[in-house]
Amino acid sequence: MYKKIFSGVQPSGNLHLGNYLGAIKNFVTLQNESETDCVFCVVDLHAITVKHDPAKLKNNIRETTATFIACGIDPKKSIIFNQSSVSAHSEGAWILSCVSRMGWLNRMTQFKEKAGKDKEKASIGLYSYPILMAADILLYDATHVPVGNDQKQHLELCRDIAQKFNNDFKAPDFLKVPEPLIQKQFSRIMSLKDGLKKMSKSDPSDLSRINLTDDKDEIINKIKKAKTDPLKMPEIEDTLEKRPEVENLLGIYSSLLNQDLDKSKKEFKGKNFSEFKDSLSDLVIEKIIPISKEIKRLLNDKKHLDNILLEGSLKAETISSKKIAKIKELMGF
């Protein structure tokens, strides 16, 4: 079955192991499937919905692009571009905001989480960014969108917007209603310091995450200091509901090896954590250091990265300009 994939990553700097295992690793798998076309976007318009440093944004865009490529996304196989370079995204977001309903956005739980206690001071962009996300997807007739559980609600909103537009303007199936691709295991990598919090670049402690640009010594130190518990490694039949940090570290190990959790539990059952952490460090170094070196190499050639983004934006513009023109025609422009 043919699939058209769309997904994006914000250029907020310091992409980490959670971004790789929870998203980018899966992007590479999808790219290499037969009968699949992929569009991967550096969603820089989403990055400005919160306070940001303009001086760092351009470099963060390049760093995210370099990370895509270093992890295995091939610009000859997939379209890679930055969102702000294709005007249809902003135009589409405005048009779709006129179709969307306040009640739909009021139900979005992630806005409440990101805005915090003082919602009155949050930007309108942060409130309405799920509509921009919908425009991103619908402009490319995406059939499938890889999402984590925290983004599933936004994809449901995208589906609602598409269906309402098609009904309002009597254009059945014009905007494709996308299906979610939800990674069943290890889609949510947690903090190394707290197994109940998602690994995040916004965490003030650098020890909470493994950055994709970390060197060998930094990786060893962070895994050595990762929170565990006083018990030994679990047996195969042991549940891990009350051992979130252990489940997280085993999940990282399993994901890097593409094996299920039980196989990893069997490998280390009854052993001391120090032995497991040594094996985990070796594995992370084996998988991540080549990515780290390639990111740094690519960042030394900014012109090459800018050319990749330019070529990708021209391809994206070709697709999206036709779609936005038809959207405007249906609306009477």
The CATH class of 206-297 is mainly alpha
Residues in the chain: 333
pLDDT of amino acid 43: 96
Given the residues 3, 193, 201, 315, the one annotated as active site: 201
201 noted as active-site residue: yes
Given the residues 58, 114, 164, 193, the one annotated as active site: 114
Q: What is the pLDDT of residues 217-226, one digit of tens each?
A: 999 999 999 9
Given the residues 77, 198, 227, 287, the one annotated as active site: 198
- Each domain of the chain, given as residue ranges in start order, spans 3-188+302-331, 206-297
Decide if pLDDT at 187 tops 80.
no
pLDDT of amino acid 182: 84
pLDDT of amino acid 111: 77
Cβ proximity of 110 and 171 under 8 Å = no
322 noted as active-site residue: no
Whether the model clears a pTM of 0.75, i.e. scores above it, the answer is yes
Q: What is the pLDDT of residues 226-269, one digit of tens each?
A: 999 888 888 887 888 889 999 999 999 999 999 999 999 999 98
Token reading at 148: 């984590």
Provide, rounded to the nearest whole percent, the portion of the chain with pLDDT above 70: 99
The CATH class of 3-188+302-331 is alpha beta
Over residues 321-329, mean pLDDT: 98
Cβ-Cβ contacts under 8 Å for 129 (sequence gap 6 or more): 46, 49
pLDDT of amino acid 118: 73
Over residues 71-79, mean pLDDT: 97
Please, which pLDDT band fits residue 163 given cuts at 50, 70 and 90?
very high
pLDDT of amino acid 285: 97
Cβ-Cβ contacts under 8 Å for 175 (sequence gap 6 or more): 138, 161, 162, 163, 165, 166
Cβ-Cβ contacts under 8 Å for 161 (sequence gap 6 or more): 96, 99, 100, 104, 131, 134, 138, 175
222 noted as active-site residue: no
Q: What is the pLDDT of residues 198-233, one digit of tens each?
A: 999 889 999 999 999 999 999 999 999 999 988 888
pLDDT, greater one: 100 or 184: 100
Q: How far is residue 156's CA from residue 153's CA, in Å, rounded to a whole number?
A: 5
Over residues 140-166, mean pLDDT: 92
Query: Residues 288-304, buried b or exposed e (16+ Cβ, 10 A)?
Result: beebbebbeebbeeeee
Token reading at 287: 């998988």
pLDDT of amino acid 183: 77
Q: Is 173 helix (H, G, I), strand (E, B) or coil?
A: coil
